[in-house]
Amino acid sequence: MLGKTVSHYLVTRELGVGGMGVVYEAQDTRLPRTVAVKFLPQEFAADHEAALGLLREAEAVALINHPNICTIYEIDHDGGASFIVMERLEGVSLQVHLARGRLQTKEIIDIALQVTEALAAAHAKGVVHRDIKPGNIFVSTDGLVKVMDFGLARRFMVPDTGQMVPDETVIPGRPLGTMNYMAPERILQMPLDPRSDLFSLGVVIYEMATNRRPFASVSPADTVTNVLEVDPPPLTRVAADRPTALGAVVQRLLAKRADDRYQSAMELRDALRSVEKPSRWSRLFRWSL
């Protein structure tokens, strides 16, 4: 693709490859801007279902206008290839960011809060991301966090009351996503539920705080068993310097039953803010110790 012009975008370099697409940097020849262009992987280029998935991603993100969600400019076709044109971000994925060194608690909470804001906006529009993981979270050079890759996103109903109604449809077969970050109900292919995104974010926060994945094992089967049946070591046992309140938030996020987790991203946001700004009495208690 390098050096080729697709529609009115001149492809200049490859930015990354994932299971859901290949992303290139490109120059818009009509407007003075640099963009990111996402194509299907070569093996799926002629796959009708994969092309529909790309369209669903564009439609899902088009519903949401939020600073913590990567903006999609358009979806187009050229020479039989479907592609999405997105804003070009400067920075790295959270996966790369974590590999650079241990994060301070303040930064962990800041990143978690920004992802939570993105999920609150998506869920309010009836969109479940279904693939929250460090590789799909982008940390810009200025500290702005963006949730990306809605390729597995699905819609659920939000009635006039504001109450979320899960989609009752289940697609038979192997669940799509990354097992290390997948909620139990996703693995079991239960009805679509936005609280599964909160579980996945809990895994990400645990990983940010401890530099280890809570359910990872030597085999995919063992990882699935851990997600479904095993409670990971408490966050503060693995990383004793992290706040007890942060450990409590993560423990609730990683509850096996969705009903035992925070029931909305907004509820989680409030809990994270309380970790970020502990009460006057808790500060006095720590000082007295």
Could you count the other beta carbons within 10 Å of the beta carbon of residue 264?
Answer: 19
Instruction: Tell which phi-psi region holds residue 211, choosing left (phi > 0), alpha (psi between -120 and 50) or beta.
Output: left
Torsion of CA 66, 70, 74, 76, to 10 degrees: -150
131 is catalytic: yes
- For residue 166, give both structure tokens: 């899960």
33-39 vs 9-18, strand pairing mode = unpaired
Torsion of CA 211, 66, 253, 196, to 10 degrees: -110
Tell me which residue has tokens 């509850």.
255
User: Do 234 and 247 contact (CB within 8 A), yes or no?
Assistant: yes
φ and ψ of 45, to 5 deg: -60, -35
Q: Which of 50, 115, 102, 80 is nearest to 212 (CA)?
A: 102
User: Do 176 and 152 contact (CB within 8 A), yes or no?
Assistant: yes
Distance CA 170, CA 39 (A): 27
Where b means 16+ CB within 10 Å and e means fewer, 152-185 reads bbbebebeeeeebebeeeeeeeebebbbbbbbbb
- For residue 17, give both structure tokens: 């490859």
Count CA atoms closer than 13 A to 207's CA, side-chain side.
23
User: Of 131, 149, 193, 197, which residue is the catalytic one?
Assistant: 131
Write out the catalytic residue numbers: 131
